[in-house]
Amino acid sequence: MLPFDGISLGCDYNPEQWPRSVWPEDVALMQEAGVGFVTLGVFSWGLLEPRPGEFDFGWFDEVVGLLHEGGIAIDMATATAAPPPWLTHRHPEVLPVDREGRTLWPGSRQSFIPSSPVFREYALRLVEQMAQRYGSHPAVRMWHVSNELGCHIGKDWSDVSAAAFRVWLADRYGDVDALNEAWGTAFWSQHYTSFDEVLPPRITPAVPNPTQELDFARFSSDAWLDHYRAERDVLRRHSPGVPVTTNFMVADHQYEQDYFGWGPEMDVVSQDHYLDHRHAHPHAEQSFAADLTRGTAGGRPWLLMESATSAVNWQPVNITKLPGELLVDSLRQVARGADGIGFFQWRASKAGGEKFHSALVPHAGRDSARFREVVGLGAALAAIGEVAGEPVRADVALLHDWESHWACDLDSHPSGELRALDAAHRWHRALTELGATADVVHPESDLSAYRLVVVPTLYLCSDRVAPALEAFAAAGGTVLVTYFSGIVDGHDHVRLGGYPGAFRDLLGVRAEEFTPLPVGATVTLDDGGTADLWTEVLGVTDAEVVARYADGPLPGTPAVTRRAVSAGSAWYVATRLDHAATTALADRLTRDAGVARLDEPQEGVEVVRRGHFLFVLNRGERPVTVPATGTELLGGGAVTGSVTVAPASAAVVRGGR
């Protein structure tokens, strides 16, 4: 359970942007909108510590008092997300450096190196002041470390980070001989005689060492996590019992932190997510990100810390939300495990780099359609408060791993068009449109509760994954593995003997060579399906052929196979099926596996079961009717047999189907 009541509406609150006379009005409007919590102080360092060691908390105390009197809980930020100019002026050595050796100067935010001992000293001094002053305040219900750690500088190539990287490598490998073996330094005369010779993977004349790049990605994620731990430990010392979090960024374009490693370190997992209209299917990507966030939380409820009421400001074209979209997008997150819905920010800024980012109170003010929609959302979240704490029910596990993602997307692979998340998004979207729910989980998670496991482009995996999948299938489960999976081990070394490497025995197939397709080229399967991007010279060793290529470079070669495994089965898809073919195969697999889903899927409809509650989300242009019986919590009353949901709207049925 989150430390807020019910399903809480929240937001970032930045009162320093506004005169004191506005603050009481803010609290009154928050009460009108049903705001239950605010994140306070994220970017306040420069005013809380205007000069080194000189702290000014008077104005901040006033804001805390107003919020407390108004009954609004505080998620108190440590204010370390953006160092003030005096710090970077006095200590330019804390400034990050990009891969090409250019210093990233102050003037925006997050202008610091997480491994910098100088920055750490100043940041922890501020955290200690914050924790001592507000650690026992009754309004402070949660602590918020920094903000979006690694958002803009997921990696830093400075000498400061280089030194920390060498320490990390020594801890990981013990000696330089083990490093040489792991990095395959016999190739291109890269043999090291000392850790002192190792650098981050900066710009090189040719392709960098891929294992060096992979380890630097691991180190970088760990460096940010280590900074989180340092601040968290100060908070726990001075504010025991108050949960601590930091906001993840689980999104298609943010992938530099291994949040499966971060999740266990959080008292509450929180996540920022904004619809990205550069993505072909932004709402499907949002659903995937929510299910993955739930996976990082180990299935526990989580908090959507930030989202947008309408447009953002950082995409090439910033699309506004249509009427009803705010409600549906917010309830999508609740359906998939969020116990709170937060936004950036309370008031739209009148100055600065995000002044055209939407907010709960837009530039037009209280008398606006957007604010009225916010008030409606607050009422809707209050109406479904009893959902809080309920687990999401999923019969499908979709395996994802950030390390595999990093390794898969490196250079010099068979096709530069292949990206790790592509297959994951395609299969998740197909499952969602069928009304099935998937937990997106780490490959070494316990799979015993599922009926179907999907393994989309898991390029890198440990030796433990395939035996676990074999045992899952032998117990009656269904496994589906897609192309470019199981190819390398944890050092990014190819598993010899034929593809798909780790999964050859499980799947009963062996490929001698990859045959990627040119951009725009397609192939037809003999079952009528269409595919692109990828084919393989695939042979069957212990499996049946479900579909073959009817044309293309490999006519007659197996494209989809199935191996019986005791009471279950293991499928292999050796090409990228288009959406229709992906959905058709997902339809067959979910029905055969007994996965809970819609009998008759409908376009634009998402159905998710959370505990005893059924969420029906309608993004379509026509009313939809879904089987359900119970009580509709958003004003619909008793439901017998089915519930009808208007376009751009949602229903939450207690009792469900």
Look up residue 621 and give its two tokens.
């242009």
H or E stretch at 330: helix 325-335
| Integer Cα distance of 439 and 398 in angstroms | 6
SS3 for 432?
Answer: helix
Which residue bears the tokens 């359970």?
1
* Of 256, 285, 306, 433, catalytic: 306
Please name which of 611, 594, 612, 607 lies closest in space to residue 643, comparing C-alpha atoms. 607
Sheet containing strand 630-632, edge to edge, reads 605-610, 613-618, 649-654, 630-632, 637-639
* Of 49, 148, 536, 606, catalytic: 148
Judge whether 231 counts as a catalytic residue.
Answer: no
Look up residue 223 and give its two tokens.
């460096």
The alpha carbon dihedral of 152, 156, 160, 164 has a sign of: positive
Look up residue 46 and give its two tokens.
């420069």
The alpha carbon dihedral of 287, 291, 297, 299 has a sign of: positive
Q: How many CB atoms lie within 10 A of CB 488?
A: 20
In the beta sheet, which residues pair with residue 45? Answer: none
Judge whether 306 counts as a catalytic residue.
Answer: yes
Residues for the chain: how many in total?
Answer: 657
In the beta sheet, which residues pair with residue 140? Answer: 74
Which residue type is seen at 635?
G
**CB distance 1 to 344 below 8 Å:** no
**CB distance 49 to 80 below 8 Å:** no
Q: Give the pairing of strands 35-40 and 8-13.
A: parallel
| Integer Cα distance of 614 and 430 in angstroms | 20
Active site residues: 148, 306
